[in-house]
Structures are given as C-alpha cells and as structure tokens.
Structure 1
Amino acid sequence: MTKAKRKDIVSDKLYSRVVGGKALFPHAVSVEGKRMIFLSGQLAWDKEGNLIGKGDMRAQFRQVCENLKEALIASGAGLEDIVKTNTFVTDMGEFFKCVDIRHEYFGPGWPTSTTVEVSKLAVPDATVEIEAIAMVD
C-alpha cells in the first residue's frame, strides 16, 4: 500500500503543547487517500480471547496497540496510516503512565486523538480500549 498524503494542522489560534519548538499534537489532520479503514475498539485480548494484563494498564495498552497493528496488517495498512484514535480508559492517571507506549506505537506523526475516562468497559478487568481510523491510497 502507498501511504496516504498527510498534513498535520496546528492553528496558532488554539492552545498547543510545544516540545522542541514543535506542537506535540496536531489540532487536525488533512489526509488525501482513496480508502478509509475503520477499526473497531480493541481490547487487550490475545488470539485465544484471554485478557492480557489484568489490573495492569501498561500491559493492556501494549496488547491493544499490537491488536490494532494486526487488524491494520490484515487490512493492508500499518500503524503509520492511522489518522484518528479514540481511547477509552478506566483511570486517567494510569493512562498518563502509558504515554511512552503510545509514542512507541504512534509517534512521530501522531494521529489526532481523543481520550476519555469511563467508569468501566464492556469486559470486566479491561482498563483500555482504542478504536481508530486509518487512510491509505
């Protein structure tokens, strides 16, 4: 697959965290491509349906990212093609401890993202779920 043309958009009229003279996250992403891939919310299940990392958001976050990667590969795409993520977590404080894992899988060129703390997810003991949209030529 050919990578879709992507342009990060940062408005000087909006707040932006800056690191090393560059905005940490874009406010929007403009993408030119021919095919959109909508990834269902992924939980930290292994191939056999076992929840990985019970009580450990870092372990779950890593497994969720691996699951996203595998779903994208099956779709003829990769993590670098993700343009938007919605992340649902049961503890925002624990999520902030996963930022390095997020950077490992999604950065640089991070997708636009929204993270929301929820009281619980659909599966008992699940602490993080990520859904995504990818675009490829």
Structure 2
Amino acid sequence: MKKHLYLFLLFISSAGFAQTSDIAFINPSSVSTPKGYSQAVTIDLGKSTMLILSGQVALDKDGQLVGKDDITAQIQQVFTNIKNIVEAAGGSMKDVVKLNYYMTDVSQVQVLRNIRDKFVNTNHPPASTLVQVNKLFRDDILVEIEATAVIPKK
C-alpha cells in the first residue's frame, strides 16, 4: 500500500499540477479590499495565465455600494470592477472567457446584456451562465458576477 501511495505522490508532483509558486492571490487597489478572501487568483499555465475572479458586486474601491436600488448602476460598477482586476493582472476584457451571473431579477437580463456588450468582445462573447437567486449576501446587492480570463503571455 505504501508503494502505491508513493507512486501516486510521485505522479502528482511530476504531472504538471500547479505548485504554490505557480499561483498568486491578488487584491488590486482599484477595487475594494475584501475581508477573508482574495479578489482573484492567477494560475501560471505556461504560455498564458488563468485569472479566476471572486464574485464581483457593485462596491467601489472604498467598499461603498454604487447604485442602491439601481440595477443599471450596479451592473456598470460590477463590470468596471471586473475590468480593473483583469487589467491589474495584465489582461484586457477580450481575455475574459467565462462569466457567471447571479441576479435577483432575471427580467432585467437585457439591461445586463446591454452593459456587458460595452465591455466584452461581442463577436466572440464569453461562455456564460445566468442564475436567478432570491437574495445575495446583502439585501441591497442586486447582481453578482464571477469571471474567468485566460491572459496570453507577451
């Protein structure tokens, strides 16, 4: 049994799985400083870097809500936060490959799409998922968006 465990550990260590040095946790100053988590994680993939963002809400860099009861203002702020984090990691919005949307009212999806289209490549839009939720972590938060980007190295 010990021999099998040793071989498995040897396989994992040599199989190209991300090591700690290949992963960086980032909190750009252009977005609010989170408590208890990181805004994003970068993973070195060799010729590119994967960027996984925590769910973004309509908090400005000082942690203040933008757009109380205003879905348009909140979505605009969320995409601004996403853009700021992606750019801080050396990428651009064209590098975003996946968006996950959590909205308290999916009847507002066209508002979401109109604002999203100002930020993403509409000829090759990111993969996406939309989920309606009855509540987010605060009653005044109407939308949360997660993003994943793959940033080519220069």
**Shorter-normalised TM-score: what interval?**
0.7 to 0.9
1:61 aligns with 2:65: no
Runs of at least 5 residues in structure 2 that lack an aligned partner in the other structure? 1-46
Deviations 1:2-46 (A, max 9, x none): xxxxxxxxxxxxxxxxxxxxxxxxxxxxxxx52110011000001
Q: Whole-Å Cα distance in 2 between the matches of residues 64 and 94 of structure 1?
A: 15
Relative contact order, CA 8 A, sep 6+: which one is greater? 1
The aligned counterpart of 1:42 is: 56
> What TM-score do you get using the length of structure 1 for normalisation?
0.73
Partner of 1:98: 112
Q: How many residues align?
A: 106
Q: Match of 2:86?
A: 72
C-alpha separation between the residues in 2 aligned to 1:112 and 1:98? 15
Letter in structure 2 aligned against 1:37: L
For 1:89, which of 103, 109, 112 is the aligned residue?
Answer: 103
| CA displacement 1:68-112 (0-9 Å, x = unmatched) | 001111111111100001010000012323321111111322100
Structure whose residues are more often helix by fraction: 2
CA contact (8 A) 1:36 1:136 kept: yes
CA–CA separation in structure 1 for the residues paired with 2:97 and 2:73: 24
The equivalent position to 2:65 in structure 1, one of 30, 51, 54, is 51
- Alpha-carbon offset, residue 124 of structure 1: 2.4
Cα root mean square deviation, aligned? 1.5
Unaligned runs of at least 5 residues, structure 1? 1-32
> Normalized per residue, which structure has more strand?
1
Q: Secondary structure at the match of 1:97?
A: helix
Instruction: Report how far residue 129 of structure 1 moved.
Output: 0.6
Partner of 2:146: 131
Q: Determine the C-alpha separation between the residues in 2 that align with 1:107 and 1:129.
A: 20
**For 2:131, which of 106, 116, 123 is the aligned residue?**
116
Misfit runs of 4+, over 3 Å: none
Structure showing greater radius of gyration is 2
Following the alignment from structure 1 to structure 2, what is the Cα–Cα distance between the partners of residues 112 and 79? 13
